[in-house]
Amino acid sequence: MRIALTGASGFLGSNIARHLSAAGHSISALVRVNSRRDHIAPFIERFIEGDHADESCWPALLDGAGCIIHNSIERSAWDPADSLDLHLQSNLVSSIKLLRASSPRQFIFMSTLSVHRDVPQPQPEPGRVYALPGSYYAAYKAALEAHIFAEAADGRRSAAPTSTRGPAVHWS
């Protein structure tokens, strides 16, 4: 299967690319113009230059893909005290738009345990109070998880693994 991968040049993305390639998948990788590529070049069939917030590169990224793994983030927007609009537009709004533009492909979002502060339960337990995100980074991840969950409720195949050490939250 061809898989579209954002954030392929980063720590998690490069490991995802290596494992996908070893499993026989072909990968279209979205990388920034100035991103290092030598460490992932053997695993990537097609590089698409751009930023996940740039809708003009999405058609090339998604061309022929049966699945998208969204793993990128605009790091300069982690502290919205300095750049709230950049954080909202580049991380949250563009990720929601990418989620919708990539339909009906399976959408996998690399989330984080910092969304929940502890290992989440696959099914909510009656009466349990879940911790809310404690940072803007975690709030972004939690908000996108909610949008992915809403798409899954409409029948879209999607997942939001929260950690390689803990259980993943899967929807449909």
Task: Write down all domains in the chain, each with its CATH number in brackets.
Answer: 2-171 (3.40.50.720)
The partner residues of 158 in beta bridges, in order of sequence, read 107, 171
Task: Return the structure tokens found at 121.
Answer: 């339960």
Distance, CA of 113 to CA of 50 (rounded, Å) = 28
Task: Give the neighbor-by-neighbor strand order of the sheet with 67-70.
Answer: 46-49, 26-31, 2-6, 67-70, 106-109, 158-160, 169-171
Q: Over the stretch 71-125, which tens digit does the pLDDT of each residue have?
A: 988 876 566 566 778 888 888 999 999 999 999 999 999 876 656 555 444 555 5
Q: The whole model's pTM is what?
A: 0.82
Q: Over the stretch 115-171, which tens digit does the pLDDT of each residue have?
A: 655 544 455 556 555 556 667 777 888 888 888 888 888 888 887 765 433 344 444
Distance, CA of 103 to CA of 4 (rounded, Å) = 13
- 15 neighbors 42 (Cβ within 8 angstroms): no
Q: Over the stretch 26-36, which tens digit does the pLDDT of each residue have?
A: 999 999 999 99
